[in-house]
């Protein structure tokens, strides 16, 4: 595997800064956190890293589609890959941080189901991964993501990644797009209603930016609920959990986003 790909996966799994990645260095985190590995178990980490890997796979698939669109432009040149690299690095960093912020020892992988979150810090996450870095599941995930990195930035082609055997047969590309569009239509509609109510409450014609940001973030924090509710209605699956709705949608997106001949939406 190329050195750049190895450095990328070490960044992905250990949370190294973009500057360190670009320098081709992997700095081990400081041992600020002494973890109790009776609590921070291999089994719990394996479940968490499955989620991280799927999120990162979506990032590569989405940016592969962006690369294909750039190549359709007459003025495409290789320098665009440098911008794409920065975009991917930032997305991976932000997504890792989001997954860690959302993590709860008590109820993961069922988000927000316990009522009393037991969080971890990003530093603890890094130390946790490092402790089990030689385990087969970490090594295999690293190899898979490093291959995606090489495919995107060296080969400029990601071979079809199929999760068809892991998602409901009825969840087609067309159903995915229907759900996706309905999710964002719901978010926009709810935001509009919240804005109108808040403007009336404040007795203003135009909502201050700070107030808008609060409403936007509140609405976006409800994304998991909206996705599950929308999936449930369109797929006629009243028992779907939030984690399964997310997982099925992500896997459907990747399965279709790595087929360059179909119409895609960002997932």
Q: At what angle do helices 3-14 and 136-150 cross, to 10 degrees?
A: 130
Predicted local confidence at residue 72, as pLDDT = 84
- Cβ proximity of 225 and 111 under 8 Å: no
Asked if residue 10 lies in contact with residue 146, where contact means CB atoms within 8 angstroms, the answer is: no
Radius of gyration of the chain (CA): 20
* Tens of pLDDT, residues 130-178: 999 999 999 999 999 999 999 999 999 999 999 999 999 999 999 999 9
Alpha helix (H) residue ranges in 15-112: 18-22, 42-71, 79-102
pLDDT confidence bin for 258, thresholds 50/70/90: confident
Question: What was the pLDDT predicted at 129?
Answer: 92
Cis peptide before 151, with omega less than 30 degrees from 0? no
Q: Is the pLDDT of residue 187 over 90?
A: yes
Of the segments 88-92, 109-113, 219-223, which one has the largest average pLDDT value?
Answer: 88-92
CA atoms in the 13 A half-sphere facing the CB of 151: 19
| Beta-carbon-side half-sphere exposure of residue 264 (alpha carbons within 13 Å) | 23
Assign 116 a pLDDT band (cuts: 50, 70, 90).
Answer: confident
Look-up: residue for tokens 């008590």? 106
Residue pLDDT, tens place only, 50-75: 999 999 999 999 999 989 888 887 77
User: What pTM, to 2 d.p., does this model score?
Assistant: 0.80
pLDDT for res 22: 32
Task: Say whether pLDDT at 245 is over 50.
Answer: yes
**CA dihedral in degrees (123, 125, 131, 134; nearest 10)?**
-130
- Of the candidates 46, 51, 97, 44, the residue with the CA atom closest to the CA atom of residue 242: 51
């Amino acid at each position: 595997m190329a050195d750049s790909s190895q450095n990328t996966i070490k960044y992905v799994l250990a949370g190294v800064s973009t500057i360190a990645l670009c320098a081709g260095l992997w700095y081990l985190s400081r041992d600020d956190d002494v973890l109790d590995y009776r609590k921070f178990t291999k089994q719990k980490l394996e479940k968490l890293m499955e989620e991280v890997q799927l999120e990162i796979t979506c990032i590569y698939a989405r940016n592969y589609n962006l690369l294909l669109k750039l190549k359709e432009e007459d003025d495409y040149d290789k320098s665009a890959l440098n911008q794409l690299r920065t975009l991917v690095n930032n997305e991976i960093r932000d997504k890792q941080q989001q997954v860690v912020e959302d993590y709860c020892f008590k109820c993961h992988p069922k988000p927000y189901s316990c009522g009393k979150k037991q969080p971890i810090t990003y530093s603890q996450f890094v130390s946790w991964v490092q402790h089990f870095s030689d385990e087969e599941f970490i090594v295999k995930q690293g190899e898979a993501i490093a291959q995606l990195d090489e495919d995107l930035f060296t080969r400029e082609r990601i071979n079809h990644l199929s999760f068809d055997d892991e998602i409901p047969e009825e969840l087609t590309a067309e159903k995915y797009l229907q759900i996706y569009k309905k999710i964002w239509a719901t978010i926009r509609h709810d935001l509009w209603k919240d804005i109108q109510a808040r403007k009336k409450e404040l007795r203003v014609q135009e909502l201050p930016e700070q107030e808008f940001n609060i409403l936007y973030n509140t609405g976006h924090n409800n994304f998991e609920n909206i996705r599950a509710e929308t999936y449930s209605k369109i797929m006629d699956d009243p028992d779907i959990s939030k984690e399964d709705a997310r997982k099925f949608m992500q896997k459907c997106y990747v399965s279709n986003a790595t087929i360059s001949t179909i119409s895609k939406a960002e997932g």
